[in-house]
Amino acid sequence: MLHGRTGELRALDLLLSDAQTSRGGALIVRGAAGAGKTALLDHAARAARAAGMQVVRATALECESAIPFAGLSQILPLTLDASLSNSDRFSVGLAVLALLRQVAAGRSLVCVVDDAHWLDPASAEALSFAALRLDTAPVALLLASPADHPWTGSTRELILAPLDEADGAALLAERAPGLVPIMKRCVIAAAEGNPLALVEFARNVSTRPGVGRPQRKTITVRPEIAGRFLRPVRELPRETVMAMLICAAADVCPLPGFADLRGEAGDLAALQAAAERFGISLSSLSLAEHAGLVGLNRTGVKFTHPLVRMAVYQSACAADRMRAHRALAAVLPPASAVFHLAAAATGPDGATADFLERLAGGLRSRALAGEALEEAARLTSEPAARARRLLAAAAAAFDIGPARATAMTAGAWMAEAAPHGQPAGGLDDPVEALLQAGDDQSASILASALVAECRDRDMPGRLPYALHGLSSALRQMGDHQAAEAAAHEGLAVAREVAQPHQEARLSAILAWLAAARGEAVPIGDEMTPLAVWTAALLDLSLGRHGAALERLLAGPLHVLATPDLVEAAVRAGNPAVGREPLERFEEWAAGTCRAAPAGLALRSRALLATDAHHAVKLYSAAAELLGVRPYEQARTALLHGEALRRARHPTQARQHLRTAHSVFTELGAHPWAERARAELLATGVADPVEAGSLLTPQEHRVVRLAAGGAGNREIAAQLGISPRTVANHLYKAFPKLGVASRNELGQTFLRGERSAPASPKSTPRSRSCPGGGPGDLESIV
């Protein structure tokens, strides 16, 4: 989807429709690099082909811009006569117009030329001549060129303006759905409405909050993209490039939330003072201005493209970047200078950290205070002080999302507790903090260490607590069997040592695991987030979607229950109520920087997608991120298969639905397996449970061997029949099983056989076997 280009798309559609009625014309799309010119040309080409029009495309090349008619040779199917190249421009233009009309005589024609500013002059003049005379021809000429390159002639222009904030946010929601709001605002501000910059900055943003020592959030550009914008910069003298670096550094703030507070750094007087510390003058920027890279006025310096600014900053060596930040810090008031000192720091910096902490104390915004304190912690070397600042940052960060806060809380525990094994700042459940931050792997490692320590030191009183953390981590990691074993052990020990509180907590985990299988286990009247989630999950497993939705909306809501809330909302026919909770979950998932939460967020986003093709892509991406989590993978496969079936792709749907049915069956999640089975039947295949019992005894033996990988001759030798008889048995068995090839036998026959009943309940729908008739056995042999 092309966000913010509704008017432009209408203009393109009108150009194409006019050409189809012999009212042709020309249009040149102009805009900055990355504004979306090529995307619009691609849209027009697809729309033209869909309408049955001819499409010829060309991309002008700088290296061919001096070769006469190089551009035209990519468009016209006929070789220009050698004598024509020596003709006057009028004759050449007429010849090109005639050729275009000739090509379009049978079917209307669209000529698409990208990078038209690199067309050789002869081609450009000829196309410009023809463009003015297409009003009675079934020909549309569509060109793209940068905004700062004039086009020959008076062709109608379509100028691409920067995207506004709303359209930029919509593009980010599509291309970077996991980006946390504070970084989203930063990306939108830095990109200045340029679509390419938005996508690049979002793709290369790093927001990972480190454990123990947080990492700074940064925006970068891929080297290949930066290289494109650095070409004119490399031709400038070093003094000019260093002046550009100072201006770029003034626009870079290590704390995104403070981007709006850096105002004085961009002041012309401050920039000049910083440049003088380098021994240079801002007057050297005149060469950059002449090259179209920056613009100067009385108040400051502005880069003409956000990717030029980022490329200049990123391509500079670390030493030069730090020098630029230190120079800016030296000429700015302390409240602004501190951020440049932080950007220049390569390690702990006590003075800057202290200043950031004092600054945080005077800020009204708790979110900004949290950012300042987190940066202060990054610059702090002493573990206790770092832990204290992280805990203070965590308390403030709850205003911008619990995931970030819990990550910093867990980091505080590890920062101070790691050396001597005691929690910092009164934090008594670091495993739970890590789980809330989405770091189930670290939680599992820490919980396993605690369990081992309890066993080694013979501490039965602490073992239920440690086993609760381990079972929680294993459950969140998707290892339900191991989680159940740990919970059962912890429950037994809790009863032995009379710890009713731990007994209740461990019973709650066992109840959730049972609910995931569709089994009802008493959970008491406790209204904890896990208890609410457990009851809702049981409802969802048993198809009571409305009841599940009501429970989850009433809350309290466990963060990981959000995907179930979204699914319940969609299945209950009320998807709108799932949108806001999903946005909060996406923010949490992005803050964890973990694949599995991102996968759950994508699966939920797919459920709310209105476009089936987009939903299928999201399900595929979700499955890749979820990793080895059988239950969640099976639920994703079920939803993926359902979406494919609704989109009328039954063959692709069966693969996912068979996977879901098999995994649910192995997990003992029978209501979920039954749902997958019903979806499989809806695609036209035989019942995976009953299929095996529909075969004759001999067919059963043949299919079993074929499903195990045996060839026809091998089967014939084992059963004492001919290979052709084997092929006939397979031909008859395939429709009964609802398969079309040997590859599907293992997925359908053997899996269904594991749970096949003694006798069939119904006759499944039959499918014709590939090949058309009994005599055509090539696909079976």
Residue 254: band (very low, low, confident or very high) from pLDDT cuts 50, 70, 90: low
Q: Is 148 exposed, middle or buried (0-12, 13-18, 19+ CB in 10 A)?
A: exposed
Residue 51: band (very low, low, confident or very high) from pLDDT cuts 50, 70, 90: very high
Average pLDDT over residues 22-35: 93
Ramachandran sector of residue 333 (left: φ over 0; alpha: ψ -120 to 50; beta: rest): beta
Mean of the per-residue pLDDT values of the chain? 81
Higher-confidence position of 18 and 706: 18
**With contact defined as beta carbons under 8 Å apart, do 145 and 88 qualify?**
no
Ramachandran sector of residue 575 (left: φ over 0; alpha: ψ -120 to 50; beta: rest): alpha
Q: Which residues of 242-251 are buried (b: 16+ CB within 10 A; e: fewer)?
A: bbbbbbbbbb
Cα gap 590→597, rounded to integer Å = 8
Average pLDDT over residues 578-582: 93
Higher-confidence position of 687 and 779: 687
Q: Which CATH architecture has domain 6-159?
A: 3-Layer(aba) Sandwich (3.40)
pLDDT at 560 over 70: yes
Higher-confidence position of 407 and 198: 198
Q: Where are the domains of the chain?
A: 6-159, 168-344, 347-424, 434-517, 684-781
pLDDT given for residue 607 in this prediction = 94
pLDDT given for residue 241 in this prediction = 95
3-state secondary structure of 514: helix
pLDDT at 421 over 50: no
Residue 758: band (very low, low, confident or very high) from pLDDT cuts 50, 70, 90: very low
Residues 766-779 have pLDDT tens digits of 333 333 333 333 33
**Residue 239, both tokens:** 């003094």
Average pLDDT over residues 671-676: 90
The tokens 């466990």 sit on which residue?
A: 558
pLDDT given for residue 334 in this prediction = 76
Residues 192-211 have pLDDT tens digits of 999 999 988 887 764 444 33
pLDDT at 752 over 70: no
Amino acid occupying residue 119: L
Fold of 434-517: 1.25.40
Average pLDDT over residues 42-66: 93
The tokens 């996508």 sit on which residue?
A: 199
Average pLDDT over residues 706-726: 83
Query: According to the per-residue pLDDT averaged within each range, which of 410-419, 520-529, 763-772 is highest?
Result: 520-529
Residue 33: band (very low, low, confident or very high) from pLDDT cuts 50, 70, 90: very high
Cα gap 531→660, rounded to integer Å = 26
Higher-confidence position of 778 and 74: 74
pLDDT given for residue 766 in this prediction = 34
Average pLDDT over residues 656-680: 89
pLDDT given for residue 154 in this prediction = 67
Of 3.30.1330.10, 3.30.70.580, 1.10.10.10, 3.30.1490.20, the CATH number of 684-781 is: 1.10.10.10
Question: How far is residue 159 CA from its own chain's centroid?
Answer: 30
Question: CA–CA distance from 205 to each of 80, 221, 227, 444, 613 (Å)?
Answer: 50, 9, 18, 28, 27
- Which of these ranges, 46-55, 511-520, 530-539, 687-696, has the smallest mean pLDDT? 687-696
**With contact defined as beta carbons under 8 Å apart, do 629 and 663 qualify?**
no
**With contact defined as beta carbons under 8 Å apart, do 246 and 328 qualify?**
yes
- Which of these ranges, 54-68, 386-400, 515-529, 682-696, has the smallest mean pLDDT? 682-696
pLDDT given for residue 780 in this prediction = 36
Residue 731: band (very low, low, confident or very high) from pLDDT cuts 50, 70, 90: confident
Higher-confidence position of 117 and 396: 117
**Residue 215, both tokens:** 């990492």
pLDDT at 453 over 80: no
Q: Which residues pair with 140 in a beta bridge?
A: 25, 110
Residue 756: band (very low, low, confident or very high) from pLDDT cuts 50, 70, 90: very low
pLDDT given for residue 92 in this prediction = 82
Higher-confidence position of 232 and 389: 232
pLDDT given for residue 215 in this prediction = 44
pLDDT at 100 over 70: yes
pLDDT at 582 over 90: yes
Query: According to the per-residue pLDDT averaged within each range, which of 439-453, 608-622, 749-763 is highest?
Result: 608-622
Residues 273-324 have pLDDT tens digits of 999 988 899 999 999 999 999 998 877 888 999 999 999 999 999 899 999 9
Number of helical (H) and strand (E) elements in the chain, helices listed first = 38, 9
- Which of these ranges, 48-52, 61-65, 117-121, 748-752, has the smallest mean pLDDT? 748-752
